[in-house]
Chain A
Amino acid sequence: MSSIVSLPDQTTARIPKRNYLTNENGILSWLLTGDHKRIAMLYLISITFFFFIGGALAGLIRLELLTPQSDLMATDTYNKVFSMHGIIMIFLFLVPSVPATLGNFLIPIMVGAKDLAFPKINLLSWYLYLAGGSLTLWAMINGGVDTGWTFTTPLSTHYVNTNVVTTGLAIFVAGFSSIFTGLNFIVTIHRMRAPGMTWFKLPLFVWSHYAASILMVLGTPVLAIAIVLVLLERTIGIGVFDPTKGGDPILFQHLFWFYSHPAVYIMILPGMGVISEVISTFSRKRVFGYSAVAFSSVAIAVFGFFVWEHHMFIMGVSNYSTLVFSLLTMLVAVPSSIKIFNWAFTLYKGSITFETPMLYAFGFMGLFTIGGLTGVFLGASGTDIHLTETYFIVAHFHFVMVGGMLMAFLAGIHFWWPKMTGRMYPEKISQLAAVVTFIGFNFTFFPQFLLGMLGMPRRYAAYPPEFQVLNVFSTAGATILGVGYLLPMIYLVWSLKYGKIAGANPWQATGLEWQIQSPPLTENFVEIPVVTQDAYDYEWLERQKEHEVTQVG
């Protein structure tokens, strides 16, 4: 297999002495930094920490479900475990994963700026995230919460005795970190593009983050409202959702899903941005139909706001409103399918190599296609009645969120790791990790589609014995998946010290971030670049290289 990786001569290569990591020393220089790259690294460490906590909880869930009885833990414990798994994975891992780490690190560099528009707000966003995360951990240690991540009233307001208030506050606070990140991106992308960097020269990574940022800024406040109302209802009984006081519990569903459906696009859109960069780089080709992919991100963001009621088809809403929301749900599926085909055709007449990020991207395409298509099963109202609230739902959103988003996150981490740290990870073992993850993932979650078809409800600590075989398959797969996630953790840390020196542009990629040293300077660019080339302009890159050679020669 040939490879495009071109590393500098390892005998003479050095990590540049002056870079954002060495610029200042001491713990305070990190905790008080305004540098978007350092904040991205802080975020990366924190979300990895929470990912492994959420992952351990997932492991407990799968262990409990190995047998039909509720025997590993009491049902109350199981309920807490799956609630905390959902809360941690969604609010503390998936929502910030790509935007707060890769987005934070790369967006200013990609648009040719020295930092984000509001560096201090960026740092504040990390502290809010940390506050939210600590509150969640505190709630967990202090007895946990068993409402599920959806906080359904009146269960959350009147019927459970767990730490709903603490967890609610945690999510409220963490929500603001997401709003601030989105706000920072929007302003940066609008106001701080380098000279010549027009909207249609932006990498698609920036477009997809722009779309996700709009969702963060407009959607998250609604979640905050819903959470505050739940907390007020629980503490002082204001009665907005309480039918005995004239309130309506369905109102909570509307408010909650008005954020939480767009939230899945907040999670997946940045991942789609990563996939565009990776597929283009490893097929040496401009993304097929650049503007179609860019506008489909925006279309997802716009339509994404008008489909929330498809979470409520069986809750006794009007049949006619179901008609409208089912139709809109079908429309929002189209831009995603456009993207998949555009990525596939980016490969056409390319010059393809199969480095680790590309393997993860292929994994994304397969798993996201399955996740997206099974979403249509649920968007069609007649079949949603049978499939909703079963393991089909669980399988569907894990295909999108884990098979899609987590694959994209890992693709992105591997792709930009040399840029962030200046070092390469070991290629063979990382390719193995990508393959193991893919196999483990399918083994874990595909049986759950069958369980859902058979009608096994989600969130069950005990289940009828006839569902055991498929559950055993799923648990077996989860152990493989666990190995797949531990491997990168080990070799990436290893590479920090022992990895090969990457040089500025190991992948021969076209983005502005690859034209500067690795790891970058604190100010990113020695002088602000003037952009004349399009995004993914590989011919321009060739000319640049020739130019350098002639100059040196």
Chain B
Amino acid sequence: MDHISPVIWQFLVKWLTNFAVIPPEASKVAPQVDALLLFMTLVSLVGLTLVILLVVTFSILYRRERNPVATQIEGSTLLEATWTIIPLGLFLVMFVWGSVLYFRIYTPPPNAMQVYVVGKQWMWKAEHPGGQHEINSLHVPVNQPVDLTLISQDVFHSFSMPAFRVKREAIPGRYTTVWFEATQEGTYHLFCSQYCGTAHSAMIGQIVVMSQDDYKKWLASSTSGVSLAQNGERLFASLSCTACHNGTPGARGPSLAGVYGSTLTLTNGQKVTVDDEYLRQAILNPSAHITQGYAPIMPTYEGQVSEEGLFSLVEYIKNLDTNYRIQQTTTTTELAPAATAAAPAGSNGKVSHE
């Protein structure tokens, strides 16, 4: 056959050998999603076959040549009920099954490892807590739940990982989260799947799933030297957050040590649980998030801190369990203003907030 057209022949051979209907099942949830997809496909095939069978059979049996005069029938309540209730039942099964999966995909387990991701035109920037930064790629260990906190710096993007059957939009102005647990080592596609302008189709990258050991090596070799929390600590000082949020008696702002995960009462009486999103909002729009007992004096930091900087601050506050170092910083500042640079541990004196 290949004498007809070598090009087409090559093409077909290549295609038939690599033919796939589903991407690799590389996450814990992937086989579960595929099971539902298979169920739906089977139900659809049965439904479609039924419709085709009805149409073809009736077309043969009752074509004009065989059945010149039609018999008028009003309808049948029994049949109507049948084809109302059976599809409804099947759809409800799919609804319940799908919802169970949805909650599973969007509810991270407590032991998940956290990675922060910023989407921007047109790249993905991942920030690991250990201070590793990557662009258009994401390295993760196998068999370890990974929880991604996503945000966009400009337009809507969507972090799509088909091999994991998981995606989530990165939206400007709010955090979204998604988690997965990779089960197979390998390199998989990372797509931006929400149209985001000129180079939308170039906003792709790869997810590299590594063994635990390789991942540790990668972490060690890729670190920038400053962890996200350390970077956050420097920002915290350089933005003068320490002036009020220092935990001293009579401080003008509430203490932030241990605040993450706690429940606060705001001035309007509303009770809120402190999470990443709350911290971000409280920094950018403080007047709407004043803790009861404090004056609304905090200025907004909108436009002054990048999304990466906000991630650093959030990571810092999240891990803050004592005000000791903050008080050290402020005391040092008061005693010897020239010595600020020496204060935050591991710092090289440069404040980085991109």
| A residues apposed to B, CB below 8 Å | 1-4, 70, 75-76, 79, 146, 148, 150, 152, 154-155, 158-160, 243-244, 246, 248-250, 283-286, 288-292, 313-316, 319, 322-323, 326-327, 330-331, 333-334, 337-338, 340-342, 344-345, 347-354, 362, 365-366, 369-370, 373-374, 376-377, 379-386, 388-390, 450, 453-455, 457-464, 466, 469, 472, 538-539
Chain B residues near A314: list those with CB within 8 A.
158, 167-169
A-side contacts of B285, CB under 8 Å: 246
* A347 vs B67: C-alpha distance when bound (angstroms): 11
Q: B262 interface residue, CB < 8 Å from A?
A: no
By the criterion CB–CB under 8 Å, are B193 and A457 in contact? Answer: yes
Asked, given contacts A159-B121, A314-B168, whether A374 binds B64 with beta carbons under 8 Å apart, the answer is no
The answer to whether A250 and B171 touch across the interface, beta carbons within 8 angstroms, is yes
Given contacts A154-B155, A348-B62, A389-B160, contact A79 B75 (CB under 8 A): no
Contacts A326-B95, A340-B51, A384-B98 given: A152-B156 contact, CB under 8 Å? yes
Query: 6 A-B residue contacts at CB 8 Å?
Result: A331-B88, A351-B70, A366-B48, A382-B99, A386-B37, A390-B162
Instruction: Say which residue of A2, A150, A462, A469 sits within 8 Å of B11 (CB atoms).
Output: A469
Q: Which residues from chain B contact A390 at a C-beta distance below 8 Å?
A: 160, 162, 193
Look across to chain B and name the residue whose beta carbon is closest to the beta carbon of A285. Answer: B70
> Which residues of A sit under 8 angstroms from B20, Cβ to Cβ?
454
Q: Is the CB of A352 within 8 A of B22?
A: no
Say whether, besides A155-B197, A159-B155, A369-B51, A289 and B76 are in contact (CB < 8 Å): yes
Q: With A and B bound together, what is the CA distance between A382 and B34 in angstroms?
A: 10
- Note all chain B residues with C-beta closer than 8 A to A384: 98, 102
Flag if B70 contacts A284 (CB, 8 Å): yes
Q: A322-B102, A463-B201 are in contact. Are A289 and B91 (CB under 8 A)?
A: no
Cβ-closest chain A residue relative to B88: A334
CB distance from A74 to the nearest CB of B (A): 9
Residues 162-177 of B at the A interface (beta carbon under 8 Å): 162-163, 165-169, 171-176
Interface segment out of the listed B53-61, B139-147, B232-240: B53-61
Decide if B193 touches A458 in the complex (CB within 8 Å).
Answer: yes
Which of chain B's residues have a CB closer than 8 A to the CB of A457? 160, 191-193, 201
- Residues in A whose Cβ lies below 8 Å from that of B103: 319
Are A380 and B33 touching (Cβ within 8 A)?
no
Check A453–B22 contact: CB distance below 8 A.
yes
Q: Is the CB of B95 within 8 A of A365?
A: no
Contact of B75 among A249, A292, A369, A538 (CB under 8 A): A292
Task: Give the Cβ gap from A125 to chain B, nearest Cβ, in Å.
Answer: 31
| Chain B residues numbered 14-31 whose CB sits less than 8 Å from any CB in chain A | 14-15, 18, 20-23
- With A285-B73, A349-B70: A344-B54 Cβ-Cβ less than 8 Å: yes
**In the complex where A319-B102, A326-B99, A351-B64 touch, is A538 in contact with B72 (Cβ < 8 A)?**
yes
Is B23 in contact with A454, judged by CB distance below 8 angstroms? yes
Given A283-B70, A373-B44, CB of A383 within 8 Å of CB of B37: yes
Chain A residues near B185 (CB-CB < 8 A): none
Q: A152-B155, A350-B67, A353-B63 are in contact. Are A386 and B165 (CB under 8 A)?
A: yes
B residues whose Cβ falls under 8 Å from a Cβ of A: 11, 14-15, 18, 20-23, 33, 36-37, 40, 43-44, 47-48, 51-52, 54-55, 58-59, 62-65, 67-76, 79-80, 83-84, 87-88, 91-92, 94-95, 97-107, 121, 154-156, 158, 160, 162-163, 165-169, 171-176, 189, 191-202, 204, 285, 302-303
Min Cβ gap A72→B in Å is 13
Which residue on A lies nearest to B36, using beta carbons? A383
Which residues on the A side are within 8 Å of B97 (C-beta)?
380, 382
Q: Which residues of B contact A159 (CB under 8 A)?
A: 121, 154-155, 197
What are the nearest 8 A-B pairs in CB distance?
Answer: A243-B173, A455-B162, A382-B101, A380-B98, A289-B75, A347-B58, A316-B176, A381-B102
Q: Given the complex of chains A and B, what is the CA–CA distance between A70 and B107 in angstroms?
A: 38
Of the residues B51, B199, B204, contact of A366 by C-beta under 8 Å? B51
Inter-chain contacts of A366 with B (CB < 8 A): 48, 51-52, 55
Chain A residue with Cβ nearest B303: A244
Q: With both chains docked as a complex, state the minimum distance between the C-beta of A330 and any C-beta of chain B, in angstroms.
A: 4
Q: When the two chains form their complex, are residues A382 and B105 in contact, meaning their CB atoms are under 8 A apart?
A: yes
Asked whether A290 and B75 contact (CB < 8 A) given A326-B98, A349-B62, the answer is yes
- B44 to chain A: which residues have CB within 8 Å? 370, 373-374, 376-377
| Residue in B14, B92, B172 with the greatest tally of chain A CB atoms within 10 Å | B172
Contact B83 A341 (CB under 8 A): yes
- A4/B92 contact (C-beta < 8 A), A345-B79, A366-B52 known: no
Task: Tell me if B33 and A349 are in contact (CB < 8 A).
Answer: no
Chain A residue with the shortest CB-CB distance to B91:
A330
The residues of A that contact B176 with a CB separation of less than 8 Å are 315-316
Cβ-defined partner of A79 (8 Å) among B64, B104, B167, B198: B198
Say yes or no: A347-B62 contact (C-beta < 8 A), given A382-B36, A382-B102, A459-B200: yes
Residues of B within 8 A of A334 (CB): 84, 87-88, 91
C-alpha gap A460/B158 in the complex (Å): 13
With a CB–CB cut-off of 8 A, which chain B residues contact A285?
70-73
- Cβ of A219 to closest chain B Cβ, rounded Å: 23
Give the CA-CA distance A460 to B76 in the complex, in Å. Answer: 49
B167 touches A385 (CB 8 A): yes
Assuming A249-B173, A377-B40, A380-B97, is B91 touching A333 (CB within 8 A)? yes
B residues near A388, Cβ cutoff 8 Å: 167, 193
Residues of B within 8 A of A374 (CB): 44
Q: Most chain-A Cβ atoms within 10 A of its Cβ — which of B18, B48, B195? A: B195
A155-B155, A334-B91 given as contacts; is B67 within 8 A of A351 (CB)?
Answer: yes
Cβ–Cβ < 8 Å partners of B98 in chain A: 326, 379-384
Q: Which residues of A contact B54 (CB under 8 A)?
A: 341, 344-345, 347
Report the minimal beta-carbon distance from B346 to chain A, rounded to whole angstroms.
33
Question: Do residues A352 and B59 form an inter-chain contact, with CB atoms below 8 A?
Answer: yes
Contacts A152-B195, A333-B87, A539-B72; A383 near B155 (Cβ below 8 A)? no
Closest to B201 in A: A460
| Known pairs A159-B154, A289-B76, A389-B167; A454 contacts B22 (CB<8 A) | yes
Bound CA span A243–B302, Å: 10
Docked-complex contact B166 and A385, CB < 8 angstroms: yes
User: Given A455-B23, A457-B191 in contact, is the A365-B51 Cβ separation under 8 Å?
Assistant: yes
Query: Which of B67, B79, B80, B121 lies in contact with A349, CB distance below 8 A?
Result: B67
Contact B102 A338 (CB under 8 A): no
- The closest CB in chain A to the CB of B52 belongs to A366
Contacts of A316 in B (CB 8 A): 168-169, 171, 174-176
Highest count of chain A CB atoms <10 Å: which of B48, B192, B193: B193
**Which residues of chain A have C-beta atoms less than 8 A from B167's C-beta?**
314, 385-386, 388-389
Collect the chain A residues with CB atoms within 8 Å of residue B43's CB: 373
Distance of A340 Cα from B117 Cα, bound (Å): 46
State which of A327, A369, A454 has its C-beta within 8 Å of the C-beta of B21.
A454
- Contact between B73 and A373 (Cβ–Cβ < 8 Å)? no
* Known contacts A159-B121, A386-B167, A454-B20; A347 and B55 CB within 8 A of each other: yes
- Given A152-B195, A292-B75, do A352 and B62 touch, yes or no (CB 8 Å)? yes
Q: Complex formed: what's the CA distance from A76 to B44 in Å?
A: 38
Q: In the complex, which residues of chain A have a beta carbon less than 8 angstroms from the beta carbon of B59?
A: 347, 352, 354, 362
Q: Which residues of B are found within 8 Å of A284, using beta-carbon distances?
A: 69-70
Q: Are B173 and A376 in contact (CB under 8 A)?
A: no
Q: Which residues of A contact B199 (CB under 8 A)?
A: 75
Q: Of A146, A291, A538, which contacts B197 at CB under 8 A?
A: A146
Contacts of B193 in A (CB 8 A): 388-390, 457-458
Known: A79-B197, A469-B11. A349 touches B71 (CB 8 A): yes
B101 touches A383 (CB 8 A): yes
Q: A340-B51, A381-B102 are in contact. Are A286 and B33 (CB under 8 A)?
A: no
